[in-house]
Amino acid sequence: MKQTNSKINIQEKLETYLSEFEIQYTETIKNSNNIKKLELLIEDYSAFILNQQYQLAYLVWPDIQKKDMLTQKLANISAKCVKQMEMIRAQRLLEGRASSSNYFENIEHCINEEFGQFKVTAKDKLLLIGSGAYPMTLIQFAKSTGAEVIGIDIDEAAVNLGKRVARTLAPEAKIHITNQKVEQLADLHTVTHIIFSSTVPIKYDILDQLYELTNDRVVISMRYGNHFKALFNYPTKPTDAQKWTCLNEQIRDNQIFDIAIYQKALVEVGVGDV
Ligand SMILES: C[S@@+](CC[C@H](N)C(=O)[O-])C[C@H]1O[C@@H](n2cnc3c(N)ncnc32)[C@H](O)[C@@H]1O
């Protein structure tokens, strides 16, 4: 039987998720064989994020202070858990023990719609910021478009695993993964498309920095989650209107993150593409 909003205790639900994530994260760090429970928890949490009854209960929950505090804590711990899950998934693949989970299927399904009208072609070059240990986005873009793709990640272990996973799953594709920062990338001005992983905490600081470093036609896909989805993603922030214009926001009811497309301010959309 469905619970009505008045019967849902959203605070209790969020506090339970928080303590479950903390327990399962610690258990998985202690021993990677404990990953199954964490995977199930992430799958359950993904379904929770897409549940409209809970979305509504969260929306009308009046205790803003508690809501903000729990939202931030859950966004942080769930990002750490997804990263951990990617690491173990990568290690399993490299040991010949492939595994799957609905979380990844959800992410992997979204990939081809990402840029809307600004489709990636074989002539383009794509950069993913926060490529992770299991760089599915890069692999799918490289394989389906033939484009050259670059992934950057601040975590050395994620970079090493990401390189090996890419070599295993897409040996022919043009995939380059590095732990360089955007300002260290020699060919950044030739990049045509950039994706920000949703769980990069400083993604809007990097976007601001990219204005000076990129060419004028570059298209940015910012993955994010606002309101209820901010429990599993970092939200949007206002940008400097002199620098970046948000052209389009794709709010996706059945996906755990949404997408905002940015281009440089003053670039005339669809005119004189270079
Ligand atoms: C969990 S992964 C998600 C990527 C996912 N596999 C995809 O294809 O969309 C997010 C990654 O972002 C990385 N990250 C966090 N902050 C970052 C930053 N400032 N610069 C680069 N990578 C960052 C983390 O180390 C983590 O590996």
Q: From the CB of residue 32, how many other CB atoms can be counted at a distance below 10 Å?
A: 14
Query: How many Å lie between the centroid of ligand 1 and the Cα of residue 26?
Result: 20
The atom of ligand 1 lying closest to the CA of 201 is: 16
How many angstroms separate the alpha carbon of residue 198 from the centre of ligand 1?
A: 8
Gap between the Cα atoms of 232 and 190, Å rounded: 32
Does residue 27 sit in helix, strand or coil? helix
Helix axes 64-94, 156-169, angle to 10 degrees: 50
Pick from 111, 153, 163 the residue to mutate for probing ligand 1's pocket: most ligand atoms within 8 Å of its CB.
153
Q: Ligand 1 centroid to 85 CA: how many Å?
A: 12
Closest to 53 (Cα-Cα) out of 12, 6, 17, 21 = 6
Sheet holding 125-129, edge to edge: 175-178, 148-152, 125-129, 193-196, 219-224, 258-264, 244-250
Q: What's the gap between Cα 208 and its chain centre?
A: 18
Residue closest via CA to ligand 1's atom 11 equals 130
Query: Amino acid identity, residue 201?
Result: P
Lining residues, ligand 1, CB within 6 Å: 82-83, 86, 107, 129-130, 132, 134-137, 152-155, 158, 197, 199-202
Going residue by residue through the chain (274 aa), what tens digit of pLDDT does each one get?
455 555 789 999 999 999 999 999 999 999 988 899 999 999 999 999 999 999 999 999 999 999 999 999 999 999 999 999 999 999 999 998 765 555 555 555 556 678 888 899 999 999 999 999 999 999 999 999 999 999 999 999 999 999 999 999 999 999 999 999 999 999 999 999 999 999 999 999 999 999 999 999 999 999 999 999 999 999 999 999 999 999 999 999 999 999 999 999 976 555 444 4
**Ligand 1 mean position to 29 CA, how many Å?**
18
Type and span of the H or E element at 222:
strand 219-224
Closest C-alpha to ligand 1, atom 23: 130
Are 271 and 111 in contact by the 8 Å Cβ rule? The answer is: no
Centroid of ligand 1 to alpha carbon of 223 (angstroms): 11
Question: Is the pTM of the predicted complex or chain greater than 0.85?
Answer: yes
Given the CA of residue 199, which atom of ligand 1 is nearest to it? 10
